């Protein structure tokens, strides 16, 4: 997405409520529409059908909520981006809100390459706190966590234990056991549902909220709005 003459900008947005059931593609279309409504000076690709230079981060599974989604967009010219959170949020579907914006340094790595850890808050059913705690401790102490996956039309069994960074039971809310989960994205990742199934096949993630994405460099863990930033812009306050 990076261009020699462009002005790259990173957005953070949340996805809450009923809008969690729309697909990643639909989210992308909603942002393109919002960009048109607000008449942002976007840079476009060359070719017969020019497209805005927009690059999303890691896709969020349908049905999951998130407070930590990101996209990078390239502008054709410099612009005042401080008002974007309020302007774009008003032009987006209910439940999608832009919560931060920052100008990026030139040639900043793409989000899908840079993000190395994703964190979630899960609401589990199928067991009480004691059962879930015991299952989590057993999983963390196990050298392997195997899950079935389909590849090239056949079912294979893969070990997802390397993707499990951390898992902590934090309590019980409204009949669901609350678990904080940290998952690696590289070299291979795993979905929260896969990890839960491997931990205890009787458990179900009734609610999934992506809470953070992190970029790890030189022993430091950076929020994507703090990495590769040319300047910081004040975050939008919650209404």
Statement to judge: residues 105 and 162 lie in one domain: no
Instruction: Classify residue 69: in a domain, yes or no.
Output: yes
Residue 2 predicted with pLDDT over 60: no
pLDDT of residue 5: 59
Q: Check residues 123 and 233 and name the one with the higher pLDDT.
A: 123
Instruction: Classify residue 79: in a domain, yes or no.
Output: yes
Beta strands in the chain (DSSP E): 7-15, 54-56, 65-75, 96-104, 117-125, 146-151, 154-159, 164-173, 176-184, 204-217, 220-222, 229-232
pLDDT of residue 232: 45
For the beta carbon of residue 232, count every other beta carbon within 10 angstroms.
Answer: 12
Statement to judge: residues 150 and 53 lie in one domain: no
Give the HSE-up count for residue 177: Cα atoms under 13 Å, Cβ half-sphere: 22
77: domain CATH number is 3.30.70.580
Number of structural domains found in the chain? 2
Instruction: Classify residue 238: in a domain, yes or no.
Output: no
pLDDT in tens, 118-167: 999 999 999 999 999 999 999 999 999 999 888 888 888 999 999 999 99
Instruction: Determine what percent of the chain is predicted with pLDDT higher than 90.
Output: 78
pLDDT of residue 236: 40
Q: 12-16, 51-55, 226-230: lowest mean pLDDT where?
A: 226-230
Domain residues for 138? 116-217
């Amino acid at each position: 997405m990076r261009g020699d003459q462009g002005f790259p900008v990173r957005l953070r947005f949340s996805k809450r409520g009923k809008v969690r059931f729309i697909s990643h593609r639909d989210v992308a279309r909603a942002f393109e529409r919002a960009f048109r409504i607000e008449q942002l000076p976007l840079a476009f690709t060359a070719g017969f059908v020019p497209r805005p230079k927009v690059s999303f981060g890691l896709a969020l599974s349908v049905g999951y909520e998130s407070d930590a989604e990101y996209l990078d967009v390239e502008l054709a010219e410099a612009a005042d981006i401080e008002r974007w959170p309020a302007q774009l949020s008003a032009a987006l579907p209910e439940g999608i809100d832009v919560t931060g914006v920052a100008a990026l340094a030139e040639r900043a790595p793409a989000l899908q390459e840079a993000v190395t850890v994703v964190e979630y808050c899960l609401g589990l059913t199928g067991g009480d706190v004691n059962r879930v705690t015991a299952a989590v401790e057993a999983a963390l102490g196990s050298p392997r966590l195997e899950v079935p996956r389909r590849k090239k039309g056949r079912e294979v069994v893969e070990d997802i234990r390397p993707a499990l960074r951390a898992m902590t039971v934090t309590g019980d809310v409204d009949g669901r056991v609350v678990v904080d989960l940290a998952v690696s994205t590289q070299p291979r990742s795993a979905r929260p549902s896969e990890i839960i199934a491997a931990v205890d096949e009787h458990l179900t993630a009734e609610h999934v909220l992506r809470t953070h994405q992190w970029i790890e460099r030189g022993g430091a863990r950076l929020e994507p709005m703090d990495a590769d930033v040319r300047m910081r812009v004040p975050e939008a306050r919650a209404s």
